[in-house]
Each structure stands twice: as structure tokens, then as C-alpha cells.
């Protein structure tokens, strides 16, 4: 089976001296790095800039990324009821399977990977955040930690609860804490950071993924976001933790103990891992609009890393069955 391989570092894109001059004139500095968002269609994106006659080169944006410009089938894999799915070999940069990876879809709590990425970039694990009135979420079925106005916890604690338990009130706490008090400002940061890493086909309106018209992402953009988050040691540690106990404080300084389990049922042993890989960790997401969603980091016995994602599956049981089948094609 042959996958689709991304551009690698040996394939640099040539641009003309004239185009280079235009780029340099934008800042007057020849050492500035230009991050051109990834696009499979835009003729001036880093992926699509093609050779014109000169020896000046720039590194393509997708040099170290898997690329899937269209669906990539795989023998034995059929997912007619899944909204989108993909499997990426992040060592060889092969796309082993891709279905609807550029379709804009509701991500549910997979949104929280982007929330964590922004928090890890702009916050410090020891920062202490205080809950405002905005942590009161009344949407039916929303997973909550039970934060009350005035409660305090560190960013480290909040990220564990966000990524493992998927608490929507904690997403608000993080957003206001990192941004200096404004959820809207934090959402702006989410969209700006997404664009910087090439995730230009998504749009965030909140930090928790609760259903909102105009809040969407693609399976491919989720791969880019997840891949970037994996660059942070704390993110890696959290997503592979099966259970977590902590104590935070209420408004009066009294202890509030909390014990949670990871929503990733592979880690809890509720579903058997594929025989050919070990599931390291990931993020789950479920709403009525988004269906059942899951993104994972897995490794083969030889250490080869894979990122897999499924969006809008019909049920929890089917989600894990489809994910297992997808991972079983890993080399």
C-alpha cells in the first residue's frame, strides 16, 4: 500500500529574485522568516509555490508535515458513516489514509487541543487563575469540573482537567487566565495561532468546543494543531495519564479535592488497543452536532509515531472500532 508523502526537507521551493525582492521589501530585512499558511490550492502558499528561474530558495511550510490534498484510500478500510478520518505516519511523512480531511466540521472537545496549545505557549504551569462568573455553564450535557466563582487553580491543574476530563468550565478559566480576563481575546489568540501553524481552514468561537454556528475545524487542521501541541512536554505527559488526583482552592482558601479519569477509553482499558501499536494518548470529543470524535498519538513497537483522527462517528462503540481498524493499517 502506498501513501501520499509530504514534501520533505530535500525538496526546497525555488522562487524568483523578483519575488524574493518583494518579500524582502515588506520588512526591509533579509533575515526575516515568512510563515506562509499551508494551502493545497492557493498559488502563493508555501505548499504551492513552484519553481521559477532562480537559485534563491525558501523552505516550504509543509517541509516536515504529512500532506493530503485529496482522499487517500487504504485496503480493507471502509468508513461510510464517518464524517472524516485520517492516519498519518509522522516519521516517514506518509498519509496512510484520508477521508474528507479538508471538510469543515464541528470538532466538539477536540477544540481543547487548540486551547491547550495557546495556554502552553503563553502561560506558565505555575500560574494561578481565579474563576469568574463566566465559569457557570448551563448547557445541557456539558461536562463540568464544578468550578465556582472565586475558585483558584494552577494552569498545570487546569490543563490536566481540560485534556483528561474535558471540563468546559475549566476551558473558560484557562481562556480568561491566559488572556488577562477576556474569552473573546483568547479566541482571537486561538485563531491567530492556528493560522501561524498553517491551520487556515478552521475557525474557533469558544475555547471548549460547545456547539456554536461558525465554529469549525477540519481533520487535517486538527492534525496540524495536535502535532504542534505535541512539541510541549507537559501536553505529552497529560494526554497519556489515565487518572489524576489534585486539590485546588475555593474562594475562601479551603481545599477542594478532585479525582478524575481520562476520557480516552483506550487508556482505561475499556477498549483493547490495536495489536500493532500502542496508543500513547489523545483527546476525545462528543456533542450531538459533532458526533463522536477522537484524535490520537500512537507508536509501533519500533517507535514509529502515528497521528490518527476520526470526526463525526455514530457512537462511542463504533468510534473505537473504527479507530482500531484504522490503526491496524499502520506499518
Sequence spans of domains, the chain: 1-64, 84-104+269-327, 108-225+232-261
- Terminus-to-terminus CA distance in the chain, angstroms? 10
Query: Would the pLDDT of 187 be above 80?
Result: yes
Mean pLDDT, residues 237-252? 98
Per-residue buried b or exposed e for 47-78, using 16+ beta carbons within 10 Å of the residue's own CB? bbbeeeeeebebebbbbebbbbbebbebeebe
Query: Would the pLDDT of 49 be above 70?
Result: no
Can you read off the three cell numbers belonging to residue 102?
479538508
Q: Which of 39, 45, 46, 109 is catalytic?
A: 109
If we measure between CA atoms, which residue out of 280, 223, 240 comes closest to residue 84?
223
Q: For residue 29, what pLDDT band results from cuts at 50, 70 and 90?
A: very low
* Residue with more model confidence, 76 or 97: 97
- The confidence score (pLDDT) of residue 60 equals 54
- The confidence score (pLDDT) of residue 320 equals 98
10 in active site: no
Q: For residue 261, what pLDDT band results from cuts at 50, 70 and 90?
A: very high
70 in active site: no
Q: For residue 46, what pLDDT band results from cuts at 50, 70 and 90?
A: very low
CA distance 216 to 223: 14
Q: Which of 46, 99, 112, 179 is catalytic?
A: 112
Query: Would the pLDDT of 73 be above 70?
Result: yes
- Looking at mean pLDDT, say which of 29-38, 57-66, 165-174 comes out highest: 165-174
Beta bridge partners of 283: 295
> Which region among 44-48, 122-126, 141-145, 272-276 has the lowest average model confidence (pLDDT)?
44-48
Q: Which of 166, 179, 298, 308 is catalytic?
A: 166
2 in active site: no
Give the number of residues written for the chain. 331
In Å, how far are 25, 190, 263 from 269, measured between CA atoms? 57, 33, 11
If we measure between CA atoms, which residue out of 173, 169, 207, 164 comes closest to residue 187?
207
Superfamily of domain 108-225+232-261: DD-peptidase/beta-lactamase superfamily (3.40.710.10)
Mean pLDDT, residues 268-281? 96
Model confidence over 310-331: pLDDT tens digits?
A: 999 999 999 999 999 999 999 7
Query: Would the pLDDT of 113 be above 90?
Result: yes
In Å, how far are 90, 99, 178 from 70, measured between CA atoms? 18, 8, 37
Mean pLDDT, residues 53-59? 46
In Å, how far are 26, 92, 138, 273, 329 from 3, measured between CA atoms? 38, 10, 45, 23, 11
Amino acid at each position: 500500500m502506498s501513501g501520499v508523502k509530504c514534501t520533505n526537507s530535500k525538496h526546497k521551493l525555488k522562487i524568483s529574485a523578483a519575488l524574493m525582492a518583494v518579500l524582502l521589501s515588506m520588512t526591509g530585512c533579509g533575515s526575516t522568516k515568512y510563515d506562509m499558511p499551508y494551502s493545497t490550492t492557493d498559488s502563493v502558499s508555501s505548499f504551492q509555490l513552484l519553481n521559477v528561474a532562480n537559485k534563491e530558495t525558501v523552505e516550504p511550510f509543509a517541509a516536515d508535515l504529512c500532506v493530503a490534498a485529496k482522499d487517500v484510500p487504504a485496503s480493507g478500510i471502509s468508513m461510510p458513516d464517518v464524517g472524516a478520518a485520517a492516519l498519518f505516519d509522522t516519521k516517514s511523512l506518509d498519509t496512510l489514509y484520508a477521508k474528507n480531511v479538508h471538510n469543515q466540521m464541528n470538532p466538539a472537545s477536540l477544540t481543547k487541543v487548540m486551547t491547550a496549545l495557546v495556554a502552553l505557549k503563553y502561560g506558565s504551569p505555575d500560574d494561578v487563575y481565579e474563576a469568574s462568573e463566566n465559569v457557570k455553564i448551563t448547557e445541557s450535557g456539558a461536562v463540568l469540573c464544578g468550578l465556582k466563582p472565586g475558585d483558584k487553580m494552577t494552569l498545570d491543574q487546569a490543563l490536566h482537567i481540560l485534556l483528561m476530563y474535558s471540563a468546559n468550565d475549566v476551558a473558560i478559566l484557562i481562556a480568561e487566565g491566559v488572556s488577562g480576563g477576556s474569552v473573546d481575546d483568547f479566541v482571537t489568540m486561538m485563531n491567530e495561532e492556528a493560522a501561524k501553524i498553517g491551520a487556515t481552514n478552521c475557525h474557533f468561537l469558544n475555547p471548549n468546543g460547545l456547539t456554536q454556528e461558525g465554529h469549525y475545524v477540519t481533520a487535517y487542521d486538527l492534525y496540524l494543531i495536535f502535532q504542534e501541541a505535541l512539541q510541549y512536554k507537559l501536553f505529552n505527559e497529560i494526554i497519556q495519564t489515565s487518572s489524576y488526583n489534585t486539590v485546588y482552592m475555593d474562594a475562601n482558601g479551603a481545599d477542594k479535592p478532585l479525582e478524575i479519569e481520562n476520557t480516552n477509553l483506550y487508556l482505561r482499558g475499556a477498549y483493547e488497543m490495536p495489536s500493532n501499536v500502542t496508543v500513547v494518548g489523545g483527546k476525545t470529543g462528543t456533542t450531538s452536532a459533532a458526533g463522536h470524535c477522537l484524535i490520537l498519538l500512537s507508536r509501533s513497537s519500533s517507535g514509529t509515531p502515528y497521528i490518527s483522527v476520526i470526526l463525526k462517528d455514530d457512537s462511542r462503540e463504533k468510534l473505537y472500532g473504527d479507530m482500531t481498524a484504522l490503526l491496524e493499517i499502520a506499518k
